[in-house]
Amino acid sequence: MSRARRLVVLAVVLVGLALGASGCTKVVADEYVERVGADFFQSGAGAKVTVHCPAGVEMRIDNDFFCTTDFYGRHGTLLVRQLDDYGHVKFTREQPVAHAQVEADAEAYLRGQAGIPTGTRVRCPHRVVPKEGRSFTCRSAVGRIRVVQVDGVSTFHFELERHAS
C-alpha cells in the first residue's frame, strides 16, 4: 500500500473514531475534521496547513461539505465526503460547482426557454458539491430555479418555479 493511500485510510479511521467518540450526536465534529485534514495535508506537503470547516454539519452519508484551507497565505477548498452515517470521511480537492457559470446559464434559460426579459439576475449558492443528479435552488426576481446537475461537472437542467401571483 502506498504512503498516500495509507494516509487516506488513516485519516478515515481517525476521523471516524473521533466522531464516533462524541456520543449520539448527529453533527460532524468540525474540530476533529479540521485537525485530521490539516495533519493529512501537512504530511503530504511537508508544511503547515490550516483547515477551517463549518460547524453543525449533519452526520449522514453523502452529506458532503467544503472546508477552507490556508497554506502560507494561499487559500483553497477541501471537499469532505461523508462515507457513512458514523463519521467516516474522505478528503478530496474537488472544487465547488462554478456558481458564476450556473448563474449565467440560468439567466440564458430564463431569456430563452422561459421567455423572461433580458436583465433578470439569478443568484445561486456558492459552495455546491459537484455530484451527478444532485439538485440545488437558485433565486431570481421571477421565482426560484431548481437546478439539477446532469453530469456533476458542467451540464445542468433548469426548471423555473414561478412566484404565486
Q: What is the pLDDT of residues 29-45, one digit of tens each?
A: 888 888 888 887 776 66
pTM score, two decimals?
0.61
In degrees and rounded to multiples of 5, residue 127 shows phi and psi of -120, 70
Please write the tens of the pLDDT for every residue from 58-81.
988 888 888 888 887 888 888 888
Lowest mean pLDDT among 14-23, 100-109, 124-133, 144-153: 14-23
87: left (phi over 0), alpha (psi -120 to 50) or beta: left
